[in-house]
Amino acid sequence: MTCLALIPAGCKEDSISQSNKMVTKEEMLIDRADSVTVILSKEGHTKARLRTKEFIQNEEAKPPYLDMNKGLKVEFYNDSMKVESVLTAKTARFYTQSSNILVQDSVLVVNDKGEQLKTQQMVWNNDLQKFYTQKPVQIIRGSSITYGTGLEANRDFSWIRIFNQTGTIPVEKDQMPPTE
């Protein structure tokens, strides 16, 4: 019969009590992960793939969320698994129960036509499959740049509603109203 005894060597009571103070109960409830990929699907069809360098999950929060503070990239797919648009930002909060996501800081969305949306904050509403913001936005379509404050759009930008819109929009001569 072999008996094994573990005796802490060079361990003082002070260092044990100090190590107990390093991790709080609240910190134990938070999960952290590096190099994460999240697949979002609906009725068995992949709708989006989210990638981030780090996430911090807090399931005890009301509502539960994942924070991504080291950048993220989300690819939105159509039913044929073709990328419709790509969203990037420096930070985000993903609400796990609703699959809604708040993206912030250098938000850029590019669709498959190369059209771009730039803003500092935006929400993706998963139930409605739409982007929303009340912040200033910039839309770049070819040589046309449109500015506004506030936006509502579907994920591939085939439908966009810009609030308080300004900018220059190219119009063909035959589309111009007659001058008097």
Alpha-helical segments (H) within the chain: 13-22, 25-28
Please report the DSSP string for 99-150 in residue order. TEEEEEEEEEEEETT--EEEEEEEEEETTTTEEEEEEEEEEEETTEEEEEEE
Residue 58 three-state SS: strand
Contact 149, 139 (CB under 8 A): no
- In sequence order, the β-bridge partners of residue 54 are 34
Residue 53 reports pLDDT greater than 90: yes
State the pLDDT at residue 1: 42
Please indicate, yes or no, if residue 77 is contained in any of the structural domains. yes
Q: Is the peptide bond before 63 cis (omega within 30 degrees of 0)?
A: yes
Domain assignment of residue 69, yes or no? yes
What confidence tens digit (pLDDT) does each residue in 107-123 have? 999 999 999 999 999 99
Q: Where residue 85 sits, what CATH number does that domain have?
A: 2.60.450.10
Distance in angstroms (rounded) separating the CA atoms of residues 52 and 4: 44
96-110 pLDDT, tens digit per residue, is 888 888 999 999 999
Task: For residue 177, tell me if it sits in a domain.
Answer: no
Q: Is 75 among the domain residues?
A: yes
In a domain, 6, yes or no: no
Instruction: Choose the weakest-confidence range: 65-79, 109-123, 128-142, 161-175.
Output: 161-175
Return the bridge partners of 86, or none: 75, 110
Instruction: Give the count of domains, the chain.
Output: 1
Q: Evaluate if residue 79 carries a pLDDT over 50.
A: yes
Angle, CA 155 vertex, CA 150 and CA 160 arms, to 5°:
40
Residue 119: closest CA among 140, 143, 98, 99: 140
> Residue 80: which domain range?
25-168
